Structure 1
Amino acid sequence: MSFTWTPHRFSGGALALDVANSVILRHDDARRLDRFAAPGHLDSFSKAAANFCAERALFGDVRPVPPENKATFVRLREAIDGYFRARILAEAADGLLADLLDALSSTMRLAAAPDGLDAATVRSTLRLLVMPEEDRMKICGNCGWLFIDRSKNKSRAWCDMAVCGNRAKATRHYQRKKRENAP
């Protein structure tokens, strides 16, 4: 099956969140899919980020993560997801913050180039840590991805209206019609 990175895959609003969202259906063990586990997907992610990431003006073209640093980068991805997901859900995140800071420092120590995906992800994560309106960070009600709500009234519920929003609305419509037509 062929796969390409599309604009929808970069709907997190920050490179660090897009990296965290590279795991599809993260909390469904039967259907979970790690896009970075497939050969070449991590390299193609860095190229796609230059075109689709909301922070592309800050980071521009980013070099792929060297193969020897992949495990450290994946550890960073998991720490980003764990910490920010807990923060959004207002769960205790102190231990997760320590894990995130450790992953950030390990990644920066190994970063081969200042313009690498790993270094850019660290900088994006640090920007999120000091984000002034942390209530703008949310979890998509459909797919569970992390995203920044940049709507004026902070009412966005989906990472991408064209994909998750439409799916959620279609599901509600189907359920409503099913109830109306029930005997």
Structure 2
Amino acid sequence: MSFSWTPHRFAGGALALDVANSVVLRHDAARRIDRFAVSNQMRDFPHAAAEFCAERALFGNIAPVAKENEADFIALREAIDLYFRERILTGGDDQSLAALLEAVAKVLREANPGSVAAATAHSVLRLIAMPDSERMKICGNCGWLFVDRSKNRSRAWCDMAVCGNRAKANRHYLRKKEEIPCGNI
């Protein structure tokens, strides 16, 4: 499967969330896609992040994850998703926070300081310390994590141009479907 890193793929509002969102349809085993499992996509990700990520000004150009650190980077990604998803849904717990901090510490100890793994670890720490954590949300369409930076905190989708349009089109379809009388098909 071939795809490109587009601005939509960086709709999380923070590098750590964009990394977690590299798994599409995470909770649908039949349709789940791990973008980092696709050949060369993990290598291409830092270049795209430097162009599209909301935090790009904080880290500038970043290097890809070294081959020997890929497993730690994937473990960090999974810990990010688990902790922040739990934090949004239930307020989080100490176990998932501890696992996330352990993954962050391992990456910071072992990864190249200029790598996407190190930049992601720093992004995690900024998100944990974020004073208005209620701005962190889960997209109502695709399930991606994102930071709602809208003035009135009413954003419901990771990206209005993609998920927002899909959700609105689906609601329109269902309304029209209900309007058709059963005997006129």
When the two structures are superposed, what TM-score results if normalisation uses the length of structure 1? Answer: 0.97
1:155 maps onto 2:154 in alignment: yes
For the residues of structure 1 that align with 2:143 and 2:2, how far apart are their CA atoms? 23
Letter in 2 for 1:41: Q
Match of 2:146, SS state, is strand
Letter in 2 for 1:50: A
Superposed CA RMSD: 0.8
For the residues of structure 1 that align with 2:50 and 2:17, how far apart are their CA atoms? 15
For the residues of structure 2 that align with 1:17 and 1:80, how far apart are their CA atoms? 7
The CA deviation string for residues 32-67 of structure 1, in whole angstroms up to 9 with x for no partner, is 110001121001001100000000000111100001
Cα deviation, residue 92, structure 1: 4.4
Match of 1:157, SS state, is coil
For the residues of structure 2 that align with 1:118 and 1:72, how far apart are their CA atoms? 9
Contact 2:84 2:92 in 1 (8 A): no
Moved more, 70-79 or 90-99: 90-99
Q: 1:42 is matched with which residue?
A: 42
Question: What is the aligned residue count?
Answer: 182
Match of 1:155, SS state, is coil
Q: 1:60 is matched with which residue?
A: 60
Letter in 1 for 2:90: A
Listed as ranges, the matches of 1:1-183 within 5 Å are 1-112=1-112, 114-183=113-182
The CA deviation string for residues 89-117 of structure 1, in whole angstroms up to 9 with x for no partner, is 015421100100110011111112x2210
For the residues of structure 2 that align with 1:80 and 1:17, how far apart are their CA atoms? 7
For the residues of structure 1 that align with 2:140 and 2:159, how far apart are their CA atoms? 10
Change (3 A) 1:47 1:92: closer
For the residues of structure 2 that align with 1:14 and 1:108, how far apart are their CA atoms? 18
For the residues of structure 2 that align with 1:116 and 1:83, how far apart are their CA atoms? 22
For the residues of structure 2 that align with 1:139 and 1:92, how far apart are their CA atoms? 14
Cα deviation, residue 182, structure 1: 3.1
For the residues of structure 1 that align with 2:57 and 2:107, how far apart are their CA atoms? 22
The CA deviation string for residues 66-95 of structure 1, in whole angstroms up to 9 with x for no partner, is 011000000000000000000000154211
Contact 2:16 2:123 in 1 (8 A): yes
Seq. identity, %: 66
Letter in 1 for 2:131: P
Letter in 1 for 2:29: D
Moved more, 87-96 or 15-24: 87-96
Contact 2:139 2:146 in 1 (8 A): yes
Match of 1:138, SS state, is strand
Contact 2:83 2:92 in 1 (8 A): no
Give the gaps of 5 or more residues in structure 2.
none
Change (3 A) 1:42 1:107: same
Give the gaps of 5 or more residues in structure 1.
none
